Amino acid sequence: MNSPHKQGFFKNLKHDLPAGIVVFLVAVPLCLGIALASGAPLFSGIIAGIIGGTVVALLSGSALGVSGPAAGLAVIVLSAIQELGAFETFLLAVVLAGVIQLVLGFLKAGVIGYYFPSSVIKGMLSGIGIIIILKQIPHAFGYDKDPEGDFSFIQLDGHNTFSQLGYMLDAISTGAIIIALVSIAILILWEQPFMKRIPAFKIIQGPLVAVIAGIGLNLIFRNMPGFTLQADQMVSIPVADSLVGFFGQFTLPDFSQLANPQVYMVALTLAVVASLETLLCLEATDKLDPLKRITPVNRELTAQGVGNMVSGLIGGLPITQVIVRSSANIQSGGRTRASAFLHGVLLLICVMSIPKVLNLVPLASLAAILFVVGYKLAKPALFREMYRMGKEQFIPFMVTILGIVFTDLLTGIGIGMAVAIVYILWNHYKIPYQFDPKDYKPGSPVFIRLAEVSSFLNKARILRTLSQLPNDTHVIIDASRTRSIHPDVVEIIEDFRHNAKTRDITLELQGFESSGAPDPVEQFGHIVLKHQTPSKGEGIFGLSLNRKQKEHAKSN
């Protein structure tokens, strides 16, 4: 059978349609909540979700990524709207941010995403999983003061992630708890092997059944005092009186502000942060993909750029690829980008035609769905796996998780990256040689083999090692396995050569002409080259020697 990415756009419809429905259900409250957290009109979040699901999905090369308004941008959007003074002026900045992303795509800046360590990406996934669970617990208990999509530690309602759990206990809703428990039971049932063997249940996804059950219980509880859900415990889409009223919710940017320098600063900030968040989510989504497909990163930046231009032009929030919706897509069985496209189409159709039906969906049912998404992102097995890989992987992984839980997505990733970089620098410092004066045996040569890549990061270690060498010894520095040597390292060795004369040290250099360093004859003058058996047609270091090198080798 052909792999999904080689088939037509709708060839996997039996998988992509159910997944698209689940992503749509998850996306609705997130779009609204992020708009609320951003201080923007609620409908602007819906617009961004529609554009992310349709325009970006059609242009993107990501098989399973889903784009829409991002929680990571909410604080930036909130301050930008206040700074620019009008939402229409902010929309102009969104359009210009899209233009900048297009330029970044054409300049092939997407490769930046490949420079994030795997430990940080896995930490990001687990951190998001934990924060999803923590943020959804209040919604499952019926405490909905903080909007969906607010994933920062310091919340929009003035509380934080953990204090929210305390306030939740003072506002428990029996109806919401019952709906959440029934929804969780349905989702667990749908995960059982015997359910997966029933053909009908392969098409009808558990999350869809959970939402339908939630709507049914909501209607039943309307006539039961003590169980009735309040308006803020359900999805709340703006309802237009007519089609004209629906399109009246779209807003145009204020192009008269093109000369305003603040607009360009906001646009640049949005473009950089949105691109970074997209690339991080892209990397994480590819890791979750069961088929391990690789998304073309520059094409993704271009798609996001077009999406933000369109979203800004019609009144939408800025767009990124988002891991919560992408994870829900993967875990619901999505196979291709058709599932993301279908979620966008469903969003458009439903907010136009049946917004009142959507407003019957309890947030407690959606909390149950997100519990499962969060658990699958932060499975205990992943923690055990990272622990077994050693502290160099486990510590950046855990720091990223804690950073995300106690700050926000981008700050947490930044903290995790800082720790990972410290380990990288430390590993460069610990180059694969060690000289301990205590182990030195008089009369034996001291052999130092340089690393495969000797960068300027190795300077401290090399200086320390050379300074510890005892006087009146024979020192061999071998670069025959080194592919490149930074000029700073060459300079250190040159300084040591001069210093060695005063310490009665005989210095022998091997393999420098094949390592990318300057010609050792020209750089060091008379040096000792240790002859090795060459391969046929090659010099002593596996490369053809020039005439000067051959003459020098014979003279020694």
3-class SS of residue 162: coil
Share of the chain above pLDDT 70, in %: 88
DSSP-derived secondary structure letter, 152: S
Arithmetic mean of pLDDT over the chain: 86
| Percent of the chain as helix, strand, coil, to the nearest 5 | 65, 5, 30
| Residue 432, pLDDT above cutoff 70 | no
Given a contact cutoff of 8 angstroms between Cβ atoms, the answer to whether 535 and 542 are in contact is yes
What is the average per-residue pLDDT within 248-274? 96
Share of the chain above pLDDT 90, in %: 61
Q: What is the pLDDT of residue 428?
A: 65
Q: What is the pLDDT of residue 28?
A: 95
Q: What is the pLDDT of residue 437?
A: 60
Domains defined for the chain, CATH in brackets: 9-380 (no CATH), 437-555 (3.30.750.24)
| Residue 517, pLDDT above cutoff 70 | no
Least confident of 42-46, 181-185, 305-309, 475-479: 475-479
| Residue 555, pLDDT above cutoff 50 | no
pLDDT band at residue 490 using 50, 70 and 90 as cut-offs: confident
Given a contact cutoff of 8 angstroms between Cβ atoms, the answer to whether 121 and 305 are in contact is no
| Residue 457, pLDDT above cutoff 80 | no
Encoded amino acid at 275, one letter:
S
pLDDT band at residue 529 using 50, 70 and 90 as cut-offs: very low
Q: What is the pLDDT of residue 523?
A: 45
What is the average per-residue pLDDT within 309-337? 95
The residue among 140 and 204 whose pLDDT is bigger is: 140
Q: Residue 476 belongs to what H/E stretch? A: strand 474-478
pTM of the model: 0.80
The residue among 103 and 539 whose pLDDT is bigger is: 103
- State which of 31-40, 442-451, 477-486 shows the largest mean pLDDT: 31-40
pLDDT per position as a tens digit, 168-184: 998 899 999 999 999 99
| Angstrom distances, CA of residue 111 to CA of 279, 295, 297, 501 | 9, 11, 7, 48
- State which of 29-43, 87-101, 155-169, 523-537 shows the largest mean pLDDT: 87-101
Encoded amino acid at 359, one letter:
N
* Pairwise CA distance, residues 377 & 129, whole Å: 5
Q: Identify the residue whose tokens are 């149950």.
A: 368
| Residue 436, pLDDT above cutoff 80 | no
What is the average per-residue pLDDT within 515-533? 41
* Pairwise CA distance, residues 448 & 507, whole Å: 11
pLDDT band at residue 241 using 50, 70 and 90 as cut-offs: confident
pLDDT per position as a tens digit, 381-406: 999 999 999 998 999 999 999 999 99
Burial bucket for residue 165 (CB in 10 Å: 0-12, 13-18, 19+): middle
DSSP-derived secondary structure letter, 543: S
Least confident of 293-302, 324-333, 503-512: 503-512
What is the average per-residue pLDDT within 117-143? 95
| Residue 554, pLDDT above cutoff 50 | no
Q: What is the pLDDT of residue 556?
A: 38
Backbone angles phi, psi at 474, to 5 degrees: -105, 115
Q: What is the pLDDT of residue 510?
A: 85
3-class SS of residue 320: strand
Q: In sequence order, what are the beta bridge partners of 474?
A: 506
Q: What is the pLDDT of residue 326?
A: 96
Q: What is the pLDDT of residue 538?
A: 31
| Residue 1, pLDDT above cutoff 50 | no
| Residue 262, pLDDT above cutoff 80 | yes
| Angle (deg, nearest 10), helices 380-388 and 118-141 | 160
| Residue 524, pLDDT above cutoff 50 | no
The residue among 164 and 9 whose pLDDT is bigger is: 164
